[in-house]
Structure 1
Amino acid sequence: MPDLTPSVLFNRILGRVRLKHLQLAIAIADLQSLHRAASSIGLSQPAATHALVELESSLGGPLFERHSKGMRLTRLGEAILPLLRASLVPLQAVAGNAALMQQGAGSALIRIGSIAAGINGLLAAAIPAYFAKHPDAAIDVHEVTIDNLLESIQEGTLDLAICREPAPLPQGFEFRAALRDEFVVACRPRHPLARQAAVTAAELLAQRWLAPPLTGLGPQQVENLFDDLGGVPELCRVSSRSTEIIYAMLTESDMLVCAPASLLRPLVQRKELAVLSWRPQGVGPLGVLVKTDVLANPAHSCHAFIEHVLSLSA
C-alpha cells in the first residue's frame, strides 16, 4: 500500500494504539494463545479480539497467525515485537520513579548500568558510602555488557554507566576516570604458589588456568601474559566474568585465573582468593560514562552521585 510511509504509520499509531494493545500483543507472543493472553491482562475474549484487530489494522498487517496449537508471530510480528517490549520499559521507569517520589524518596531514581568489574571495583564501595550520606536516595543498578550501555543511555533507560572508556567516545558523551585497574593472577588462598613471596614463569606455566572470556579485554590480556611467560599452559575451557563462577572453579582446585583486580576485589578482600606476586598488566581505568549535559547540570539527579564516585578516586 503506497500510503504506508513511516510518518503515516506513526501518526496512525499515535491516534489509535493504546497501551493495552501493546500489553495484549506481548502477552499473545508469550502465551501463544489469545484466550490466555486476554485473561492474563484482564480483558474479555471479545475485547481482546477487537483490540488485536485494531492494532493489526493500525500497523498495516497481521502480527499473528493461528495454527493447531495456538498463535505464532508472523514475519511482521517478529520484526516489531522486540520494539513493542522496549517501548514499555521507559513507562516502567516512569512508574518506578513516581512511586519512589510519592513514598518519600529524597531524589529521583538514579539508574546505573555497570560492567561486572565496575560493580565489584567501584559501586560495591561507592553506593553504601553514598547512601550513608543520602539516606533518602533511590538507586537501581543493572549489570550489563559494554555493548548495551551506550544504547541504554541514549534510549533513556539508564542515566549513567560504570565502565571503561569506549573507543571512540561517542559524540555527546563524557568519560571520567575513577579507578585505576590492572589484570592480576589469582588462585585459592591455600594454593601452593600463594605461600611464595615470588613465583617464576615456569611455575605459572606448570599450572592449569581458567580460559578468559571470549569477548572484551580478557583474551588479549591473557595472550599478553602468556607471551611474557614464554608459553601457553593447559586451559580449562570454562570462562566467565562472574566472580561466583570464578570462585567456584578455583576454590576446589589449583587452577589460576588472569582477571581484572577490580572484578576480583571483593573475593580478595574476604580472603576467598589470593593474588600471586607476578607483575600485573595495566588496563584502562574504570570510570563514569554519562551524557555531557548531565555533567554540565548540577541540578540533575545523578550529578551528586557522579561527584561522589569521582571523589573516591581522589
Structure 2
Amino acid sequence: MTSLYDPRIKMRHLQAFASVARQQTVQGAADTLSLTASAISKALSELETIIGKPMFKRTRKGLMTTAEGEQLLRHVLPALGLLRDGLNLAAGRQQKAGVYQVRIGVLPTTAAAVAPLAVQKLQSGYERVEIKVIAGTNMELLYLLREGELDMVVGRLPDPTLMFGLSFESLYSEPIIVLAAPSHPLATRQDLTANDLLAYPMVIPLPHTAVREAVDTFCLASGLTSLPRVIETLSDSFARSLVLSSDAVWFSPWGTVKRDLGAKVLMRLDINTQSTTGSIGLSLRAGVEISQSAQLMIDAIRTQARLWRES
C-alpha cells in the first residue's frame, strides 16, 4: 500500500518551517520553540532535502518563503492548528469546567473601537470569563489564528495573500484621518492640501500593515513622494502624547480617536482622506468549528459593531 505521506517528514520539520515563516529569522524561530538555532537550521535543511527544493530565500527583510515554501505553508499552518485543537480536546484542555475562555487578536489601530465594548458586554453576562487579548500586526495575528493560538482577529481587511485558510466578515468601514493638537497652526484652517503637511513631523503606521498601505496610497495619490520627517508607530498612546505636545500631525483610523474628537482633545484637519476608507471586520479559521465561548464573543462584537455603525 502506498504511503499517504513521506515518513521521513517529522513534526519538528513542520514546526520549525512554520515558525521560521512567521518570525522570518532562524534565531526568532529558535526562541519561539525553545530550541537552538542550529536545531532549527538542521530541521529546515532536512525538510528541503526531502522535498528537493528550497523553502526560503534571504532578503533584506529576513527569510521569506519561496513559491514552493508558500504552497507548503498554506497547508501546514491550518494542519498544525487543527492538530493542536484535536490534542487539546482529547486531553480536556480546550476549556476549564464552567469557565468561558476566548482568545482575541486585535490590531492596535482598531482595538479602541468595538473590541473593549464587546469584552465588557461578555463579562457582564457571564460570571466566569477568561479573555486573552493579543495585539500585533495583521501578519503576526493571522499566523497565530491559523495555528489555533487565537479564536479570532479583529482588524482591517488584510491583504488577500494573507487570507489563505481564513475567512473575513466585514463589520463596518472607516477612513484614516489626519489629526493635530487644537493649538496646531493647521487646526482651524480650511481647504488644506496634503502638501501643507510637509512642514510638520508626520506620525504614520508601521510598514507592512494594512493602515500603512492605505496611508502610502493616499500620499502617492496626493503627490507626496518623499516625507521629510516621519515617526512610525502603532502605539496610539505614544502618537497621542507626541501630537499633543508638539506640532506633529497624525494619520490614524477614525475609530481609534473618535472619543478624542468628541471631547475636542484632538482636532481633525480639513483634508479629504475618504480614499483611505477600509473595511474593519472579523477574521476566522475557515471550516473550523467555533467554541461556545468564541461564538459568544463573536456575537458581542457583532452587536457592538452595529451600535458603532449607528453612532
TM-score by length of 1: 0.62
Find out whether 1:284 has 2:278 as its counterpart: yes
Structure 2 vs 1, CA of residues 205 and 155 (structure 1 numbering), >3 Å: closer, same or farther?
closer
CA contact (8 A) 1:209 1:233 kept: no
Whichever of the two has the greater Rg, that structure is 1
Once the two structures are TM-superposed, the CA of residue 306 in structure 1 deviates from its matched residue by 0.8
Q: What corresponds to 1:101 in structure 2?
A: 96
| Residue correspondence of structure 1 range 151-190 to structure 2 within 5 A | 151-166=143-158, 167-168=160-161, 170-190=163-183
CA contact (8 A) 1:207 1:234 kept: no
Once the two structures are TM-superposed, the CA of residue 168 in structure 1 deviates from its matched residue by 4.3
Q: Partner amino acid for 1:154?
A: R
Give the root-mean-square deviation of aligned CA atoms. Answer: 4.0
Q: What corresponds to 2:186 in structure 1?
A: 193
Q: Which moved more, 1:123-132 or 1:262-271?
A: 262-271
CA contact (8 A) 1:116 1:144 kept: yes
% identical aligned pairs: 20
CA contact (8 A) 1:172 1:292 kept: yes
For the residues of structure 1 that align with 2:218 and 2:305, how far apart are their CA atoms?
27
Structure 2 vs 1, CA of residues 211 and 123 (structure 1 numbering), >3 Å: closer, same or farther?
closer
| Residue correspondence of structure 1 range 1-314 to structure 2 within 5 A | 7=7, 10=10, 73=36, 75-76=38-39, 101=96, 104-105=98-99, 107=100, 109-166=101-158, 167-168=160-161, 170-196=163-189, 198-201=190-193, 203-227=196-220, 229-231=222-224, 235-265=228-258, 267-268=260-261, 271-280=264-273, 281-294=275-288, 300-314=292-306
Structure 2 vs 1, CA of residues 99 and 306 (structure 1 numbering), >3 Å: closer, same or farther?
closer
Structure 2 vs 1, CA of residues 195 and 175 (structure 1 numbering), >3 Å: closer, same or farther?
same
Structure 2 vs 1, CA of residues 231 and 292 (structure 1 numbering), >3 Å: closer, same or farther?
closer
Q: Partner amino acid for 2:106?
A: S
Once the two structures are TM-superposed, the CA of residue 255 in structure 1 deviates from its matched residue by 1.4
Greater fraction of residues in helix = 1
Structure 2 vs 1, CA of residues 245 and 111 (structure 1 numbering), >3 Å: closer, same or farther?
same
Once the two structures are TM-superposed, the CA of residue 212 in structure 1 deviates from its matched residue by 4.5
Structure 2 vs 1, CA of residues 235 and 258 (structure 1 numbering), >3 Å: closer, same or farther?
farther
Structure 2 vs 1, CA of residues 194 and 79 (structure 1 numbering), >3 Å: closer, same or farther?
farther
For structure 1, the 5+ residue unaligned runs are 13-28, 31-62, 64-72, 81-85
Q: After superposition, give the CA deviation of every residue in 1:149-204 in whole Å (9 maximum; x if it has no partner).
A: 232122211111112333147454321111212110011232233234x2422644
Q: After superposition, give the CA deviation of every residue in 1:6-52 in whole Å (9 maximum; x if it has no partner).
A: 8478599xxxxxxxxxxxxxxxx99xxxxxxxxxxxxxxxxxxxxxx
Q: Partner amino acid for 1:285?
A: S
Q: Partner amino acid for 1:200?
A: L
Structure 2 vs 1, CA of residues 270 and 226 (structure 1 numbering), >3 Å: closer, same or farther?
same
Structure 2 vs 1, CA of residues 232 and 111 (structure 1 numbering), >3 Å: closer, same or farther?
same
State the number of aligned residues. 241
For the residues of structure 2 that align with 1:78 and 1:264, how far apart are their CA atoms?
45
TM-score by length of 2: 0.62
User: Matched residue of 1:184: which SS?
Assistant: strand
